[in-house]
Structure formats: C-alpha cells, structure tokens
Structure 1
Amino acid sequence: MYHPATEQYIDADPGVRLWTERRGAPDAPPLLLVMGAAVAGVGWPEEMVDALAEHHHVIRYDHRDTGRSTTAYDEQPYRVVDLAQDAVAVLDALEIPRAHMAGLSLGGMLTQLVLADHPDRVLSATLMGTCALSTRPYVAPDGTSTPAAELPPIFPEVLEMWARPVEDEGLEAELDRRVEHWRVLGGDQLPFDEGYFRDLERRVVVHAGTYKASTAHGRADDSGMLRTAPLARNEVPVLVTVAPAEPVFPPPHPQHLAQVVGGARLVEIPGMGHALPPAVQGPLVAAILEHTSAAAARRAG
C-alpha cells in the first residue's frame, strides 16, 4: 500500500523548530535517519529512503541550521551534544517510544550519544562513516595496541577542501563546490557520477530555499562527547559499516568502533567512501534491513 510522505515541524527547544518527514506505513517499525554535519535531512537519497520505507516507518529531519529547520546559531549558540538531544526530541514529538537509528558521519556520533544516554529509546543502531566516542585503544589482529587519538587522521585533501573559504559566487558556483566536495568524500574506488550529486544538491537547495552554506556545526562546542564507559556497556544491537574508500574516518576506525561499543558487529560495503552514491545504496539498505530484522527477532525471542 502506498503511504505518502508526511511533513511536520516539531519544537526541540525554546525557539528551535525542526523539519521532519515520515515515510512508509505508520505501523511499521520506526527508523530514524540522522545526517552528518551541515547536511539537511533530504541529503538522504530518495531512492534509499523509499527502499527502507518498504519495511520501516522512516523518519528523517533537518538538524538545526540546515534545510528548513531553525537557523539561529549566532543568536542562540548550542553544543554538538544538543544535536543528539534533538534526535530524542524528534522521537518525543512524534510519540515514538523506541526506534531503530542509522547515522552517517556526525550523525553516527549523535547516534552513539543517544545509545549511551538514552539506550531505552533505541531498538538498533547502524553507524556509518564515523569514529568512536571512546578513549579505549584499538587492538589490531596481531595484538598491537594503538591509542584512539593516534588512529589515522582525515585525509589531507579533505582537510584542504574544508579549509577553503566559501565565497558567494551564485547558485551554480555553489553547486560546483558541493559536487567537488562529494567527489573528494566519495573516495577513489567507484566511478564518480557528477550529475547524480548535482541533482542531489539542487534538491537540497530547493528544499532549504537558499544555496548559502551554514558553518554552524563546525563552530559548535564539541566538548563533553566522550562516552567510553556507557558505550562499552551497550546492549543495543549495533552495526558498523566498513567503507574501504573512506577518507574521513578510514580503517581501522570502523574496527575500533566495533571493539569499543558493546554488542557491535561489522559489515563491509564494497567501494564505499564518505558518501551515498547509487552503487552503495543497495548493499547498504540490505545491510540495514538485515540488521533491524535480526534485532527485532532477538527482542521477540
């Protein structure tokens, strides 16, 4: 049965409204998608959302200072941990007691914060393209121990791109910049489809009503995010994706994450980098659905 997407604004904090969208059967198991820094909820590809919505009541939303949600960082500064509380506020406002969660990049960190601080709200979690909020070291298969702070850094070409000032030279120039950003983030193992990402970013611009990029998330206070002990005690089923072309949190970051989060397991998505091109969507959707199904079976058993 076809279920049209439902849009709704929710109040996350005084003066903070968040845009949300729900798709799929209302009585299907809820799945909350949590995007990365400075990316609106419509950054989740339509094809991927539709595929997940065949089995789940999928919720995606715009973080503060993205898309159609409140843009007010300069007047009302917040911490990164407040963005995790926003995810809980979305569930509260939509009257969803517990949900499966899937987070990409910063969204994966926010999902870890919810896992650690509100485990009773999470049915399962899928963590993609992110790093562990833990000080525990990584232990390689040969027994070598590496401190968490000494794991591989972000690739230099990514840092160089992030360091460039963003000039307002019009819509098409901004789309050029964003497409090049996705080219770098996508890694070097899959052909890059420039047209696909240009269309994606054009939809993001139409959704937001502006092409101006926000820097709020990069300026937000990121202190107080470590959750070493509660993540180690975690009992919620967690899936960690391994992206072999990942330039932001390259291996062994996923392996480290799976070690320090209780009950976590790994799945490799061939060719994946720090982006969601069509080539990775099918394997990624399959992995998420297998994980949520297994988590449901475990709860039922």
Structure 2
Amino acid sequence: MEHRIPVAPGVELWAEERGDPAAPPLLLVMGANASGLVWPEALVDRLARQHRVVRYDHRDTGRSTRAYAVAPYAVRDLATDAVRLLDGLGIDRAHVVGMSMGGTLVQLLLLDHPDRLRSATVLATSALGSGLADVAGDSDLPGPAPHVLGYWASMGEERDPEAELAWRVEHWRLLNGDGVPFDPAEFRALEERVVAHSGSARSPVAHALADPAGIDRGAELAAVRVPTLVVEAPEDPVNPPPHAAHLAAVIGSARLVTIPGMGHALPAAVVEPLADAIAAHTAAVDAEDGPRLP
C-alpha cells in the first residue's frame, strides 16, 4: 500500500507499507540522498513477516516533494519528517531502523521523541558529534576513506542517464568494500528501479547541502533508555570501526552486533544476517513491551 503524507507546508512524503496492519510497526529510515527503495526487497519482506513495515522517500528523493531549492532545510528537519510521517499513518510508537544518515536521524528521535519509539536499530552510522555528524570538527574518530571522499566530489555533476547509472554502480562498489562480493548487475538493477520510481536519473544532492546545525549532541545519548541495537559494518569505508563500538558505548544501554564483511551497502550477502539481527531485537522488545499497537 502506498501513501503520500504531508509533513510540512508544501511537502509530502511518499511511503509504502507491507505486512499485517495489526502487527507492531517498523519504520525504515534510509541514508542521505537515497530513496526508500534502496532498502532491499528481501529485507523488507523478511521484516514484514512480523511487522507492519513502512519505508519512505525523504524530501528531495524518490517520489517525495523536491523542496530544498524552494525552501532550504536542516538535517534535523528530516527527523521531524519521520515523526510527522508516523502521525500521518496513525502510528503511535514504532520500531525504527536507520542506515547511515538515517542512523543520525534515529539518534535525534531517541533524544527528542523517545515516546514514539518501541526500539531503535542503527547501522553503518556514527554517533552524533562524530564522523560525518562531527559539526564542531573536534572528534578524533576516523572520517570517510579518501577514495570515497574523492568520488563524492563528482556527485552533483551533470551526466546523461547511462553515465549516471554507471556512476551510481561504481559508488556502490566503493561503499560495499571488499568484505563480501560485489555484483554490479545487482546494484544496476537496484538503481534502475530507483530511477523508474523517481522518474528522474538526476543525482540528488540536497541532503549534502542541508544545514547540519543541531546534530552535535553526542553527550546527550547517555540518557537514552529506548532499547537500541547498533550494527557494526566492519568494512564500512564511510563510518569505519571503531564508530559502531563508540556509538554503543556512548549510549551505554545499547547492544552491539557485527555483520561480518558488511560495508556501507546492502548486497544480498548481508541481507539475511542483518534481517535476523533486527528481527531478533524487535521480537525481544515486543515480548517485554507487550502488544500496545499500532
């Protein structure tokens, strides 16, 4: 089932849900400049066995409103969008899973809207105030690999559709790392679906331009009490170790699991162990938390 949910004046988000509408809700929050379709179908289907799964397009991605050129916004506004999306779908509390920048947004939700979260899972991300979320520039944790930063310099360049597809596939190869096999055909098919879904092959860059103010809040994470799972991607070239261990330690109550070979991508090889880790985490929380729905 697809929806268009208003979240701000002149801004609507595309969302899709699957699974039993009466099951505990689970919201998937994708990373920067990425459509919700980047979540693998196999992962969504696996989680939908026990959840009402919702994935969506951030502003300026997929079928959601292209907003930045008209009304620039901050990264933190994307976290508010997630709350308003839950409101629009009539969901009081949800399990929330965030990847990369989506993990940053989930951390903001943990701080500002803990009452809306049944649990949190973050993967391939860094703690607020470190890595790409290091607004002050004083973290001693490693940043993205130089070869990835160099490739990002060409992100917004004009390319014809075929060249853009090639750029995106190569980008995924770099993000995937060397820990698990990379299949160019798998990621080309993914990006072909994303392009068909959005109706444009133009490279989205709005989130790289969005104001990062207000996300340097790592010290506040120690107060988090929402059950949180931190997934370490040991081959991640964007948020490499020890980012995941640092985040789990900062939160304190978080649990850390490692998906062997995982980088900053979701190829078929990591879907099953990732889905199992998320499903086990949410099932344990639901068993403890009770059946309060939606």
TM-score bin, normalised by smaller chain: over 0.9
Contact 2:124/2:239, CA 8 A, preserved across alignment: yes
Q: 2:184 pairs with 175, 194, 198, which one?
A: 194
Cross-structure match for 2:134: none
Residue of structure 2 equivalent to 1:25: 20
Q: Which residue is 1:293 aligned to?
A: 283
Deviation at 1:164, TM superposition (A): 1.9
Unaligned runs of 5+ in 2: 131-136
Task: Note the 1:1-301 alignment, pairs <5 A.
Answer: 6-134=1-129, 149-164=139-154, 166-300=156-290
1:115-168 alpha-carbon deviations (Å, 9 max, x no partner): 100000000011001110157xxxxxxxxxxx9701111101110000125433
For the residue of structure 2 that corresponds to 1:70, the secondary structure is coil
Equivalent residue letter for 1:72: A
Q: Aligned residue for 1:140?
A: none
Matched residue type, 2:103: G
Report if the CA contact (8 A) 1:134-1:260 is conserved: no
Q: Structure 1 pair 162/54, CA: closer, same or farther in 2 (3 Å)?
A: same
State the Cα RMSD in Å.
1.5
Separation (CA, whole Å) in 2 of partners of 1:252 and 1:148: 16
Matched residue SS, 1:150? coil
What runs of 5+ residues in structure 1 fail to find an aligned partner?
A: 1-5, 136-146
TM-score, normalised via structure 2 length: 0.94
Q: When the two structures are superposed, what TM-score results if normalisation uses the length of structure 1?
A: 0.92
Distance across 2 between alignment mates of 1:240 and 1:291? 10
Amino acid at match of 1:282: E
Q: Distance in 1 between matches of 2:239 and 2:37?
A: 23
Indicate the SS of the match to 2:58.
coil
1:214 and 1:234 map into 2 onto residues whose CA distance is: 33
Helix, strand or coil for the counterpart of 1:50? helix
Tell me if structure 1 keeps the 8 A contact 2:114–2:226: yes
Q: In terms of mean alpha carbon deviation, does 57-66 or 162-171 score higher?
A: 162-171
Q: Hey, what does 1:142 align to over in structure 2?
A: none
Contact 2:156 2:204 (8 Å CA) reproduced: no
Aligned AA (1:225): I
Shift of 1:45: 0.9
